[in-house]
Amino acid sequence: MPGDEQRPADDGRCSGGQRLLVFARRLQGAVDFAGLTAFVADEVRDALGYDNAWLAVFTDDRLREVRVLTVTGPAEQDVWKHATVIPVEGDWMMEQIAQGDRVVVIEDALTDPRVNHDIVDQLRNRTIVNVPLRFIDRPLGAMGLGTFGDEGPRPPSEADLEHLIAMAAHVSVAAARIRFTEERTQAAAERLDLERRLAHRQRLESLGLLAGGVAHDFNNLLMVMRSTASIFEAEEGLSEQGRAGVAMLLDAVERARDLTRQLLALGRRQELRLAPLDLNARARKLATLLRRVVPGAIAIDVIEGPRLPLVSGDETQIDQILLNLCLNARDAMPRGGKLTIETRQVADGEYVGEQPWARPGRYVMLTVTDTGTGIAPELIDRVFEPFFTTKSEGQGSGLGLAIVYGVVRQHEGMVHCFSEPGVGTTFEVYLPVLEPEVG
Ligand SMILES: Nc1ncnc2c1ncn2[C@@H]1O[C@H](COP(=O)(O)OP(=O)(O)O)[C@@H](O)[C@H]1O
Ligand SMILES: [Mg+2]
């Protein structure tokens, strides 16, 4: 038999039980499928004299596909190129593996009509041995070995098969353990990500509440200042200088009141005047206004979503957040570019599915996209924070996006930012659809 000369002397296998024990102990050290296959490959080479070994697992519970996870041996490159996922249906060998109760031996794939020749001819398989892997009552996949191309066919002996079946029992346990650990690690990573996002949101909300709370008290003090100043203003015998001083005072109070109004929006302390709003109409109106104030090098595009449902919103505030987003976009494009305002209806459940805390229901999405400087990844989590600005003194207050956040949250919506430095930035605002009253 070709290849027989590479076979180790039988004494490599005669203490079979001992051998298996050593193998099983090794498998316990495998932390992933690559490591597991490496141990399997070592064992089939040392004990049985085959150079190629692989592991394949079913991708889903319904056993419709087999994914070749790892291949070790000279055929490795070819297998990755041609056959990483193999459909089960219509492939006799895969169907046998899916039944999961018997070792499948193809003595020579070159002449065997039962194999899938589309795959086998490309890989140049000769002998193929697949031993099913099972976990308790569930087929898991297969552990395989074989010969390719010029190696010629070399069917395993009865003793080889016996050893393989015993190996498969241990490999099944190790594979199930690895799969379980992988799934658990992935679940932990998802939970961590969720927690991080939740913590970020809580931080923003508490900052907003703090700023809004301070603004509320501050506003009361400003009222006192204003009324007192007004009393002086009405005084008869006030000197010219005194009059100018009072005017300055009143002006300062007015500006302070503007600022506190913005801060109130952060803390969602403003009263919303809700009415049915058409975001397309709001976007169109803002675009007209912007074209007058934005440099000509910035093109403005409005893409109106068809049949856009109404939202329930405070017109002044929705206009304000659109304006804040567009002014930021303008600032990000000092050398021109493109500003796009887009609306669309979000498919039912699409948004809520990704955002476990979102209110169930339908949403309208409003996006403002620019082709500007973008935001560095390490800053992106901070842009909604009150007073966070990268603009120079007098240029930015750092309140624009904090207000956007506060207003959107007060409307029971959500806002997300995506950005790539040098490419541009997109802000996505989700607002709940105004549903007709069911009467
Ligand atoms: N479209 C954008 N492109 C690039 N950076 C942006 C954009 N929008 C916001 N930013 C960043 O977020 C910061 C905070 O924005 P904002 O809250 O509106 O405050 P301000 O505009 O006063 O700086 C900005 O200073 C800027 O660094
Ligand atoms: Mg701004």
Instruction: Give 50-89 pLDDT, tens digit per residue.
Output: 999 999 988 887 888 888 888 888 878 777 777 788 888 8
Please tell me the number of the ligand nearest to residue 403's CA. Answer: 1
Q: Is the CB of 420 under 6 A from ligand 1?
A: no
CA of residue 327 to ligand 2 center, whole Å: 6
User: pLDDT tens-digit profile of 244-263?
Assistant: 999 999 999 998 988 888 78
pLDDT tier, 208 (very low <50, low <70, confident <90, very high otherwise): confident
* Closest atom, ligand 1, to C-alpha of 324: 18
For residues 102-108, average pLDDT:
94
Of residues 117 and 426, which shows the higher confidence score? 426
Residue 269 has pLDDT above 90, yes or no: no
Dihedral in degrees, nearest 10, Cα atoms 184, 189, 192, 196: -160
User: pLDDT tens-digit profile of 123-176?
Assistant: 899 999 999 998 777 888 999 999 999 999 999 999 999 999 999 999 999 988
Structure confidence at residue 438 (pLDDT): 64
Structure confidence at residue 2 (pLDDT): 47
CA of residue 1 to ligand 1 center, whole Å: 74
Q: Is the CB of 402 under 6 A from ligand 1?
A: yes
CA of residue 3 to ligand 1 center, whole Å: 69
pLDDT tier, 375 (very low <50, low <70, confident <90, very high otherwise): very high
CA of residue 304 to ligand 1 center, whole Å: 25
Structure confidence at residue 224 (pLDDT): 92
CA of residue 393 to ligand 2 center, whole Å: 13
Residue nearest to atom 4 of ligand 1 (CA): 374
Q: Is the CB of 178 under 6 A from ligand 1?
A: no
Structure confidence at residue 439 (pLDDT): 55
3-state helix, strand, coil in the chain (%, to 5): 50, 20, 30
Q: Are 3 and 150 in contact (CB under 8 A)?
A: no
CB-based burial, 33-42: b 16+ in 10 Å, e otherwise: bebbbbbbbe
Lowest mean pLDDT among 305-319, 392-406, 419-433: 392-406
Q: Which residue out of 298, 383, 426 has the highest number of ligand 1 atoms within 8 Å of its CB and is therefore the one to mutate?
A: 383
Residue nearest to atom 12 of ligand 1 (CA): 383
Of residues 270 and 179, which shows the higher confidence score? 179
R_g (Cα) of the chain, nearest Å? 35
Residue 388 has pLDDT above 60, yes or no: yes
For residues 386-406, average pLDDT:
88
Helices and strands of the chain, counted as H and E runs: 12, 13
Q: Sort strands 65-72 and 52-58 into parallel, antiparallel or unpaired.
A: antiparallel
* Closest atom, ligand 1, to C-alpha of 401: 17
| Token pair of 439 as six digits | 């009467």
Q: Is the CB of 49 under 6 A from ligand 1?
A: no
CA of residue 335 to ligand 2 center, whole Å: 18
Structure confidence at residue 371 (pLDDT): 97
What is the C-alpha separation between 186 and 404, in angstroms, rounded?
Answer: 34
CA of residue 389 to ligand 1 center, whole Å: 6
For residues 309-326, average pLDDT:
94
- Residue 416 pairs in a beta bridge with 428
CA of residue 103 to ligand 2 center, whole Å: 68
Please tell me the number of the ligand nearest to residue 389's CA. Answer: 1
Q: Are 328 and 290 in contact (CB under 8 A)?
A: no
User: pLDDT tens-digit profile of 7-57?
Assistant: 444 444 446 788 999 999 999 999 988 899 999 999 999 999 999 999 998
Residue 310 has pLDDT above 60, yes or no: yes
Of residues 330 and 351, which shows the higher confidence score? 330
Contacts of residue 246, Cβ cutoff 8 Å, sequence gap at least 6: 229, 232, 233, 238
Q: Is the CB of 398 under 6 A from ligand 1?
A: yes
What is the C-alpha separation between 424 and 333, in angstroms, rounded?
Answer: 9
Please tell me the number of the ligand nearest to residue 398's CA. Answer: 1
Please tell me the number of the ligand nearest to residue 339's CA. Answer: 1
Amino acid identity of 423?
Answer: V
Of residues 237 and 366, which shows the higher confidence score? 366
Q: What is the mean pLDDT of the chain?
A: 88
- Is 0.85 topped by the overall pTM? no
Of residues 156 and 350, which shows the higher confidence score? 156
pLDDT tier, 274 (very low <50, low <70, confident <90, very high otherwise): very high
Contacts of residue 327, Cβ cutoff 8 Å, sequence gap at least 6: 400
CA of residue 6 to ligand 1 center, whole Å: 69
Q: Is the CB of 368 under 6 A from ligand 1?
A: no
Could you please report the per-residue DSSP string of 384-413?
TSTT---SPTTT--S-HHHHHHHHHHHTT-
* Closest atom, ligand 1, to C-alpha of 385: 17
For residues 365-370, average pLDDT:
97
